[in-house]
Chain A
């Protein structure tokens, strides 16, 4: 199957234009992760310098990987259900666009603001730790390899969350329900990152690399999984 880059780009550009006109979408995307970061940040600020050794033995930054799982929930969930709600899906689907092109365009468009918000929240968190935590605590948390790993995993997890959100959006008529379901879907990721960050699970470097490869494969092939869920007839008639 030949996918048209031009049609994918048309959907991508249209989505970004809509985000620009509706800044509330991006603000809403940032709210939940910001709130999610406040409590751990306060906990870290309150830690005495003596806690640094214990922190070094754990992987506290992994907790922050829950953020890219949460951020795209709104936009990804709105991607198809929102078009249905405003009756714009039918005109689009009567153009030569293929289902896969539509979904890839939607997913890539959701990726950009989600990455911006995820990296921004992560950056604010790191800055706050550097500024307000005890120097030894900050040094124990802000370790180069941990930060690099975080930076690498953010897009991988973001894309996974986007595909989950788009999949939910293709099967849900109401954008509000789709958003709620997408937020629910991010809970397992939150649970895993939380138990890992408090030391219940230890992720070694080879394990992390293997997880990254698996995530990358799932991210790249995500449209192949989601496309069969996309039924034009169901979307138009129900």
Chain B
């Protein structure tokens, strides 16, 4: 991946600019109804400038509809929002679209045209003052300079996805909406997209990322929102983990402890314990609930050694974002 060139600020401030702390996206009680069916309901959140914000949820949760709404393609049924400093209203549609780019899940390329011709069309639609430079920078960013003359119809799915990403970079957006950007990509190509997202973040681009790949969201996102028609949780992945799950230490000893209650009960940093297998620690594996693992770990170690146990392992099991997601969404499953 190479540089994307300098960001070109849009002339004139947006009408609601209130300072550096003003969010890139602010959504308040936003609702979209299709007849009687709610695509999403009463959703509120803010995305800070330069933040990578993950939007997670099962199929049919309303993720793509929110992206389309914030991208001015769909009108909200209720609630308010602002994007890139502009209120989400029909009068500001063009102003918003000048400052954002959307990469939909389906690349939607003109398959008979070459990669460069596709980008030329979009550079002109954005009225780029330096279209050639922007096209070259976008092609470089997704490592497609060598394929610029190829017809898009002749490209693999992964390469088409990269063309769509290059297209989204053409306008040098303030806010970039990426809808499943690594869907269908092999691990190497997905890794390149991740590197590009990190580079964009470094340059201050706000990224709104919808994805089903929870490991991807865990790696890339500053904060995530989990929704299923309504917003279920929002926060930093770490915050969500600590909110949902008790902090624990996992201990394994060579022999089962004779009296685990006596070993763990008196320790101030330990809130309780359970065995991993439900057999009262018969296999020598214990899960200890603690308030602060940095205080509890030495205490527990000393207590175990004092009880004559051979400690084979002591670790703090890390809950993944997938655990958080499954805990929140559970078996609600997809609505599609």
Binding site for B on A (CB under 8 A): 4, 6-7, 9-11, 13-14, 17-18, 21-22, 86-98, 232-233, 236-237
| A4 interface neighbour in B102, B109, B122, B127, Cβ under 8 Å | B127
List the A residue with the shortest CB-CB distance to B123: A10
Q: In the complex, what residues of A have CB within 8 A of residue B171's CB?
A: 95
Find out whether the CB atom of A7 lies under 8 angstroms from the CB atom of B127: yes
Q: Closest B residue to A237 by CB, please name it.
A: B74
Q: What are 23 A-B interface contacts by the 8 Å CB criterion?
A: A7-B125, A9-B124, A10-B120, A10-B121, A17-B112, A87-B104, A87-B107, A89-B108, A90-B68, A91-B164, A91-B167, A93-B73, A94-B97, A95-B97, A95-B125, A95-B126, A96-B94, A96-B97, A97-B97, A232-B73, A232-B74, A236-B73, A237-B65
Contact indicator B112/A18 (Cβ below 8 Å): yes
Contact A17 B117 (CB under 8 A): yes
Give every chain A residue within 8 A of B68 (Cβ-Cβ): 90, 236-237
- Chain B: interface residue total (CB-CB under 8 A): 36
- Cβ contact of A94, chosen from B102, B109, B110, B113, cutoff 8 A: B102
User: Which among A6, A10, A91, A236 has the highest number of chain B CB atoms within 10 Å?
Assistant: A91
Q: Indicate which residue in B104, B122, B126 contacts A90 across the interface (CB closer than 8 Å).
A: B104
- Provide the residues of chain A in CB contact with B65, threshold 8 Å: 237
Nearest Cβ on chain A to B110's Cβ, whole angstroms: 6
Listed in ascending order, the chain B residues whose CB lies under 8 Å from chain A are 34, 65, 68, 71-75, 94, 97-98, 100-104, 106-113, 117, 120-122, 124-127, 151, 164, 167, 171
Question: B112 to chain A: which residues have CB within 8 Å?
Answer: 17-18, 21-22
Point out the residues of chain A lying under 8 angstroms from B164, CB to CB: 91
Would you give the shortest CB distance from B59 to chain A, in whole angstroms? 16
Question: B111: which A residues are within 8 A, CB to CB?
Answer: 86
Contact residues in B for A92 (Cβ distance below 8 Å): 125
**A94 surroundings in chain B (CB, below 8 A):** 71-73, 97, 100-102, 104
Say how far B81's CB is from chain A's closest CB, in angstroms.
16
Query: Which residues on the B side are within 8 Å of A95 (C-beta)?
Result: 97, 122, 125-126, 171
Question: Which residues of chain B come closer than 8 Å to A236, judged between CB atoms?
Answer: 68, 73-74
Note all chain A residues with C-beta closer than 8 A to B108.
86-91
Provide the bound-state CA to CA distance between A9 and B123, in Å: 12
Bound together, the chains give a CA A94 to CA B64 distance in angstroms of 14
> What are the residues of chain B within 8 A of A232 when measuring CB–CB?
72-74
Q: Inside 8 A of A91's CB, which chain B residues have their CB?
A: 102-104, 107-108, 122, 164, 167
Looking across the interface, which residue of chain A has its beta carbon closest to that of B106?
A87
* Docked-complex contact B73 and A10, CB < 8 angstroms: no
Please name all residues of chain B whose beta carbon is closer than 8 Å to the beta carbon of A9 when the two chains form the complex.
Answer: 124
Q: Indicate which residue in A11, A14, A96 contacts B127 across the interface (CB closer than 8 Å).
A: A96
CB distance from B124 to the nearest CB of A (A): 3
Contacts of A4 in B (CB 8 A): 127
Tell me whether A233 and B125 are in contact (CB under 8 A).
no
In whole Å, how far is A221's beta carbon from the nearest beta carbon of chain B?
22
Nearest Cβ in chain B — how far from A102, in angstroms? 9
Q: In angstroms, how far is the closest chain B Cβ from the Cβ of A106?
A: 13
Within the assembled complex, what's the spacing in Å between the Cα atoms of A91 and B100? 12
Residues A97 and B125 in contact, CB atoms below 8 Å apart: yes
Return the chain A residue nearest B74 by Cβ.
A233
Q: A77 to chain B: closest CB distance in Å?
A: 18
Residue contact B101 to A233, C-beta cutoff 8 Å? no
Beta-carbon contact of B117 and A96 below 8 Å:
no
